Amino acid sequence: MLIRIHVKQLRLGMFVHELCGSWMDHPFWRGAFLLDNPHDLKTILSTGLKEVWIDDAKGLGIEGGEDKQAIAAEVETTLAQADTASPVVQRVDVVQEAARAIKICARSKQAVTSMFKEARMGKALSSDDALPIVEEISTSVTRNPGALIGLARLKDKDDYTYMHSVAVCALMVSLARQLGLNDEQVRQAGLAGLLHDVGKMMIPLSILNKPGKLTDAEFGAVKSHPVEGHKMLLEGSGIGEGVLDVCLHHHEKVDGSGYPERLADAQISLYAKMGAVCDVYDAITSNRPYKNGWEPAESLRKMAEWSNGHFDTAIFHAFVKSVGIYPIGSLVRLESGHLGVIIEQTAKSLLTPVVKVFFSIKSDVRIPPEILDLSKPACKDKIVSHEDPVKWDIRDIHELWSGMPATPW
């Protein structure tokens, strides 16, 4: 039987049927799950959600005459266990990590460029060559997920394929962690992101970097890259099934209209569904030879419009939670009449990130930067829209959030 209870009545062993609130207000990508992890209980209690539906046919229920003090004590013990078991992660702010991330991006691009060019010349790929790159990117994402992901959007058109691979690796790692995958699965997701486009080494650069519209023949050549990449990876060493699958199927769509095999929904693996979202997000937020990239928040809005046919909805929602409704580096307008750039996400809600305010719309001038945590009860300001930096002639948006100049690799 389904029972609606207050979150303070939750305890381990209950089956959560539904969280009563918007998917944007909590970090769980599945709406229904057995509550068997102290960290999950702690997370639910920290979100601001008031009620949940539980299913007592699948887990513990609420019995009449239960001792409220005993339940409260049990919850306190569970939360203490979560604190004790919490892994120590040296979380740093975005500016600190950006200084490291820019060096990681440069090293990763150099390594990927060398690896991919050798693959073009016929050298078999090895996971031993790629995994150190994945580990370094993954460590950066652990310290601060937004820094490297934000910096990796900066690409020169000639280096797009290589930096795109670095960016998708980071996005896959972040998404895998959001989905609660274990360490080895996170590692494989990152490796899949790094190698998903290796088949483009078989496509002439004149086609990849063409600024105008592709002919049918040229577009056919581009669409061959998943199959070509899959062949290359099959000849490599230490390449797992998940990595092979993402390479072959990251352009499949849940409505069956993708390529190369027109797979639909349940036929597409979790890793491939993840790869589809991460690949598209980085592609549309990056400058390309034939178009400028969209702003991060605008890109997510566009992807949401496509999500029913293109992406798995649950995976897309988890992706949004991993990068934020307003990703780091997004320019936003506040209700107070100021412009600010997103510098951090907060645990409370996707709609209340940390913003660096730097511009007065009313006065049309820059003001001394001020950091606002929109999730704090004392903060009465809120985001009313995302904005295009070009419209406001703001050319240093990357430097504003990262402290680093917007220099392509």
Locate the domains of the chain by residue range. Answer: 2-85, 94-323, 331-402
Tell me the two tokens of residue 217: 């023949």
| pLDDT in the model for residue 85 | 47
The model carries a pTM of: 0.82
Q: Encode the chain (409 residues) as per-residue pLDDT tens digits.
A: 889 998 888 988 899 988 887 766 776 766 688 888 887 888 888 777 888 989 988 888 886 555 566 656 665 666 565 555 444 456 788 999 999 999 999 999 999 999 999 999 999 999 999 999 999 999 999 999 899 999 988 887 778 889 999 999 999 999 999 998 999 999 999 999 999 999 999 999 899 888 888 999 999 999 999 999 999 999 999 999 999 999 999 999 999 999 999 999 999 999 999 999 999 999 999 988 778 889 999 999 999 998 778 999 999 999 999 999 999 999 999 999 999 999 999 888 889 999 999 999 999 999 999 999 999 999 999 999 999 999 999 999 999 999 877 665 5
| pLDDT in the model for residue 86 | 45
Q: Between the CA of residue 118 and those of 111, 133, 235, 329, 360, what are the distances in Å?
A: 11, 16, 13, 34, 51
| pLDDT in the model for residue 168 | 98
DSSP annotation of 133: H
Q: Which CATH class is domain 94-323?
A: mainly alpha
| pLDDT in the model for residue 88 | 46
**DSSP characters for 64-123?**
TT--HHHHHHHHHHHHHHHHHH--------HHHHHHHHHHHHHHHHHHHHHHHHHHHTTP
Sequence-ordered alpha helix ranges (H) in 179-295:
183-195, 205-208, 216-222, 225-234, 241-249, 270-285
| Distant-in-sequence, close-in-space partners of 54: CB < 8 Å, separation ≥ 6 | 2, 3, 5, 10, 14, 15, 16, 17, 61, 62
DSSP annotation of 12: T
CA 51/CA 44 separation, integer angstroms = 10
Amino acid at the residue 357:
V
Asked if 29 contacts 314 with a C-beta cutoff of 8 angstroms, the reply is yes
Q: What is the pLDDT of residues 344-378, one digit of tens each?
A: 998 888 899 999 999 999 999 999 999 999 999 99
Q: Give the DSSP H or E segment for 16.
A: strand 15-19
